[in-house]
Amino acid sequence: MSIKEYAQKLIDSDPLFKDIADQKETVWINSKYLPFDMVDAVCQLVVSDEDIADAERRLHRFAPYIKKCFPETAEDGGLIESPLREIDAMKKALEETYDAEIPGRLLLKMDSHLPIAGSVKARGGIYEVLKHAEDLALEHGMITEDDNYERFADDDMKEFFHKFTVQVGSTGNLGLSIGIMSAFLGFKVKVHMSADARQWKKDMLRSKGVDVIEYEDDYSAAVSEGRRQSDLDPTSYFVDDEYSVPLFLGYAVAAGRTKKQLDSMGISVDEDHPLILYVPCGVGGAPGGVCYGFKRLFGDNVHVFFCEPTLFPSVLLGMATDRYNEVSVNDFGLNEMSAADGLACASPSGFVVRIDRNLLSGDFTVKDAILFDYMRMLKNTEDIFIEPSSCAAFTAPVNLLKYEGMKAYLEKQGLTAEKLANSAQICWATGGRLVPDEIWDKYMNTYME
């Protein structure tokens, strides 16, 4: 049976897939979610605690360089980190507007405001570029691990890196993060942008000397063409959003950093104080790595949900059909463009849908129109601006106690009303800081059906 025929069979026989094909908002609960103990050993074989610790150490080695070149990181000692903020006024507004009950505390992890790239991609993307730069510099004897990495700012280092190219396929934000960091180090950079990428992102990259190649086609096409071109050039390195382990590690580091922030806010995470995480999801790389890091750290005491546009539930479909990266939202008749440009990926990362298969709790879908309402609400209640894609996360707390599927999940996991009252829920704000003012004005005035 072809995937399309299989998709049709699912649509005809299962209300969940019918709702998805009808572009209705819903939640999918992962029937293969397992207690962490059962998955721990197998997962460690692929990405271990030591791998994550190694990534964190590498970021610390680069901290003096980052601090020197990007003074906005000085406060965090050259680490690229974002605030964790309680958003009580937003919580109240969500409850009133959507007649919802949101138990516990509602927090916003503001990766929307990460230094350098202004999106969650500043974690994985910048990490992978730094790792590649370090690998090259060590291999060619330009540096040793014990050197002060401020050395990376020296002119001869930039000249050295200019002999190499970095390439990436992107809907926008990954391109920004890879492009800005690679160009800064001295690399030649080619960013392959899909049709949905915003013009200002292309302009910003070109202003930094990045070669931006535009495609009429979607994200998957931009990635495969970028991968093909890069493979032809032995001096070129391709950051592969669909398979990259370094990207994944850069995202996974977020968990340990966030734990420190929770500690300092006096928020504990244990059996009686569950943590629930909602992460906007495109191809799955960023949320997949974040999810993985949190599960490794908090085990069964953290519950992670992804949030995707009703037009692009690619990770949901990859897992729910067990066809992984072979499935496309097009197979379910979803062929329109989404206003959530950062999330518009038709097929999921084959790596993430496999490694997170038993760790992810579920996946909420959200309509484009509501993203703009959430965005205005956050601006009006908390004076925080995040881009529409990022606002996908708010659908989860609003519907936590509404969807039947969610109620069943909470019951099965022993998440009683009492425990939920003690819970912390984190909406992951994934992008926004670099959005130009005139685009904000446009977003603020966007009202969709």
Ligand X SMILES: *Cc1c(COP(=O)(O)O)cnc(C)c1O
Taking CB under 6 A as the criterion, the residue among 59, 281, 311, 327 binding ligand X is: 281
- Our finding on whether 107 is near ligand X (CB under 6 A) is no
- Closest CB to ligand X among 78 and 313? 313
> How many binding residues for ligand X (CB under 6 A)?
20
Does residue number 287 form part of the binding site for ligand X (CB under 6 A)? Answer: yes
Q: How far is CA 15 from CA 94, 184, 330, in A?
A: 27, 50, 18
Binding flag, residue 244, ligand X (CB under 6 A): no
Q: Decide if residue 106 touches ligand X (CB under 6 A).
A: no
With b meaning 16 or more CB within 10 Å and e meaning fewer, what string describes 34-72?
eebeebeeebeeebeeebbeebbebbebbbbbbbbbbee
Q: Would you say 182 or 301 has its CB closer to ligand X?
A: 182
Task: Please identify which residue in 239, 343, 359, 400 interacts with ligand X, judged by CB under 6 A.
Answer: 343
The verdict on 425 binding ligand X (CB under 6 A) reads: no
Within 165-224, which residues bind ligand X (CB under 6 A)? 173
Binding flag, residue 249, ligand X (CB under 6 A):
no
Residue closest to ligand X, measured at CB: 282
Backbone angles phi, psi at 127, to 5 degrees: -60, -45
The residue among 253 and 343 lying less far from ligand X, judged by its C-beta, is 343
Q: Which is nearer to ligand X, 91 or 123 (CB)?
A: 123
- Chain centroid offset of residue 93 CA: 25
Q: Which of 286, 366, 400, 406 binds ligand X (CB under 6 A)?
A: 286
DSSP string, 348-399: --HHHHHHTTTT--EEEEE-HHHHHHHHHHHHHHH-----GGGGGGGHHHHH
> Smallest distance from the beta carbon of 14 to ligand X, in angstroms?
25
Going by C-alpha positions, the residue among 215, 409, 230, 391 that lies closest to residue 304 is: 409
- Please identify which residue in 58, 109, 121, 323 interacts with ligand X, judged by CB under 6 A: 121
Of 329, 339, 403, the residue nearest 371 (C-alpha): 339
CA distances from 264 to 185, 260, 261 (A): 34, 6, 5
**Residue ranges that bind ligand X, judged by CB under 6 A:** 119-121, 173, 280-287, 342-343, 345, 387, 389-390, 430-431
